[in-house]
A and B are shown apart, each in its own frame.
Chain A
Amino acid sequence: MLGLRKKPFSGGIHPRGHKELTENTAIVSSEEPRRVCLSLQQRNGVVLRSHVNVGDTIVKGQLVASGPNDMCVPLHAPINGVVEAIQPHVSAHPSGLKTNTLMIKGNGDPTWGIPHVPCDTSKLTPEEIIQRVLDAGIVGLGGAGFPSGLKLRFARQKGVKTLLLNGGECEPYLTCDDRLMREKAAEIAEGAALMVRAIGCEQAIIAIEDNKPDSISTMQSAVADRPNLSVQIVPSLYPMGSERHLIKAVTGHTVPPGQLSTEIGILVHNVATAQAVFEAVRYQRPLIRRVMTISGGALEQPTNLIVAMGTLVSDLIARCGGLKMEAARLVAGGPMMGQVLPSPFVPIDKSIGGILALSADEIRAEQSHDCVRCGRCVNACPMGLMPFQMAAHSRVSDLDGARHFGLDNCLLCGACSYVCPSRIPLVQYFQHARSSLNASRTMERKSAHARQLTEARQARLMREAEAKKAAKAARSKTRKRPARTPRKKADSTDSTPTSN
């Protein structure tokens, strides 16, 4: 029966789930952290302006930093406390670079500083809903971290017909969306309804993988009395959580390469984002905490926690009973697409869905060998690319060659690395190639800008020279008249070039 079922998209893999570690225990609300670190620099490089100074007392939910435009979401205080310092601190970025960070020392008081009374959401206009989502600083909680309010606004302008809520959660270990759907199904449904109104679309489909039967039944009963919401079951296959693959599995449509899903009238949001939208619109609560899976074989008590933004990873591990053996690797996100954390003193940010402390048995440290041309990566690639060819070109820094084989369409999902019998670090090659491609694009832009500047400079110098010449000619004309006093002459030399 299973073998006969048609695959929802070509490629894809079935990695071992490891979800049993956390899927059957309820979400635990973690206590207020003693200290949080909020990076003032966003993932896209934009630096936020801090509205608070060192020594200021701040309350939970207060706006502490904002950016120059809607592309950077505002930052709110996740705890009550005092601003201890604004100094460089290591960020959750895989580079481990230090960024300017707001350090807040908490006082342990869990109450919100600003009262958040529920409001009647049925009276809000779509633009008001979008504005509340933007003001709450909500970004996509699935991992990409794009401002959700902007996504809603674009979708409204494009006339999107269908909202797709991503309950795929195909990454191994992670169960936070699964638990959220089981425990807060009504809030997710309400959030979905609000987003449907904000976009002005016809329906919302909540897509859930078939390995989460409890989530499916809970969500189905939550949307039973809402005619424009429905639940659709999709087969579990990695990377079902990818936007393009979820759309393909649910609707059968393919998003053309290089285009966004809004082009074919579909917008995808994560289920956790829907829940955050509900809180933001109904209570005007900013996004200052999220549900995260803290898991892995090296951890004493793997748990799903409600975590305040900016909590240090070391605090989260301590909250889960600490480590029971040496953690060979700390990963932010899932094991397939997550980033290796440079240190346990990294603060978490809005786009991290899980922290994994993996034991030595769970990671593959085998040495890589030469490619044997078995073609398994080609079969596994969900985008229909040839990873071994792309890697061969990336290895010799032939970026154009790698692009020719579809580097720009690669999801960096890691399915090819997972199946490779030679243990070639394929996805690492693609990450390297992508970032050096970006760097050379930046360099080209800079070079073009420099060329413009030097041309402008040459034109300016020529103009100045001509003006000087003209002034000199004018002066020599005037000199034919009766001579002036030398002092007056000196004055005119100074002023003529500027007046011209």
Chain B
Amino acid sequence: MMTLISILALSAVGAVFGGLLGWASKTLKVAGDPRVDELEGMLPGGQCGQCGEPGCRQAAEAMVAGKLGPDCCPPGGRSLAQSISSMLGVALSGDGEDVMVVAHIDESQCSGCTRCFKACPFDAIVGANRQMHTVIRHVCTGCRLCEKACPQGCLSMQPVAPELHTWQWPKPRVA
């Protein structure tokens, strides 16, 4: 009798917990790592592929998985790297000051083929068929997609010269 009660009680407990777990696995199911969505929202979304991944979503997944460092996104720059590293709790390697670049079109060589502005994910290049194209410098993120698209080789990346309002105080050098 005692054995039977124990068996029944244990199986009842097992059934209840089993059912609970089964219900929880369905209703509380997490489709993916929520950090991936959050990270993807932080990235510029240009799908430029400079990080080596096919797009920003994949880059976010790789960063969450730890395959990519937080400073893998050149268009996002240092500030994005810092916010990613604080979100993921990953240390930012190095103290390097990144050099901002923007696209520059050598207008005397431009044939007006429209390939660069079709390649630009940010609409930072204006132009029309057989018309000279130009870069809107303050919108360009320096993602280099247009550089690869230009058949004329007249599109190059140039470092941004500091201006009065963008100049930064150097860090004091201490012995």
Chain A residues engaging chain B, CB cutoff 8 angstroms: 41, 43-45, 91, 93-95, 97, 99, 367-368, 394-397, 399-400, 424-425, 428-429, 431-432, 434-436, 438-444, 446-447, 449-451, 453-457
Contacts and interface: CB of A to CB of B under 8 A. Distances in A.
Contacts of A455: 45
A435 to B, nearest CB: 4
Given A432-B169, A438-B168, 5 more contacts: A400-B86, A425-B172, A432-B170, A440-B79, A453-B139
A454 B174 contact: no
B142 to A, nearest CB: 10
A436 B139 contact: no
Given A97-B163, A97-B164, A457-B123, A447 B171 contact: no
A446 B138 CA distance: 8
Given A400-B86, A435-B169, A443 B163 contact: no
Nearest to A430: B169
B141 A45 contact: no
A136 to B, nearest CB: 24
Contacts of B44: 447, 450-451, 454
B164 A91 contact: yes
B167 A93 contact: yes
B1 interface: no
Contacts of B139: 449-450, 453
Contacts of A41: 164
Given A456-B123, A457-B121, A451 B45 contact: yes
Interface string B153-175: 00000000011111111111011
A94 B162 CA distance: 13
B121 A431 contact: no
A45 B79 contact: no
B104 interface: no
18 contacts: A45-B166, A95-B164, A97-B163, A395-B171, A425-B174, A431-B169, A432-B169, A443-B76, A443-B77, A443-B79, A443-B80, A444-B79, A444-B80, A446-B138, A447-B75, A447-B76, A453-B124, A455-B45
Nearest to B136: A453
B164 A450 contact: no
Contact of A45 (B122, B123, B165, B171): B165
Contact of A439 (B86, B141, B164, B166): B166
Interface in B60-109: 75-80, 82-83, 86, 95
A454 B47 CA distance: 9
B171 to A, nearest CB: 5
B46 interface: yes
A457 to B, nearest CB: 5
Nearest to A455: B45
Nearest to B100: A443
Contacts of B167: 93, 95, 97, 435
A178 B167 CA distance: 34
A25 B141 CA distance: 56
A396 B69 CA distance: 19
B164 A93 contact: yes
Contacts of B166: 45, 439, 442
A235 B69 CA distance: 55
Interface of B: 44-47, 75-80, 82-83, 86, 95, 121-124, 138-139, 141, 162-172, 174-175
Contacts of B78: 440, 443
Contacts of B47: 454
Contact of A368 (B83, B141, B174): B174
A456 B121 CA distance: 10
A312 B40 CA distance: 52
B41 to A, nearest CB: 8
A368 B45 contact: no
A434 B168 CA distance: 9
Nearest to B168: A435
Given A97-B162, A425-B172, A447 B79 contact: yes
A450 B141 contact: yes
A62 to B, nearest CB: 25
Closest 10 CB pairs of A and B: A45-B165, A440-B79, A443-B79, A428-B172, A425-B172, A95-B167, A435-B168, A431-B169, A432-B169, A435-B169
Contacts of A424: 174
A447 B78 CA distance: 11
Nearest to B77: A443
Given A91-B164, A446-B141, A457 B171 contact: no
A402 to B, nearest CB: 12
Contacts of B77: 440, 443, 447
A94 B169 CA distance: 9
Nearest to A431: B169
A97 B168 CA distance: 11
B44 to A, nearest CB: 5
B172 A432 contact: yes
B21 to A, nearest CB: 40
A428 B83 CA distance: 24
Contact of A453 (B123, B170, B171, B175): B123
Contacts of B86: 400
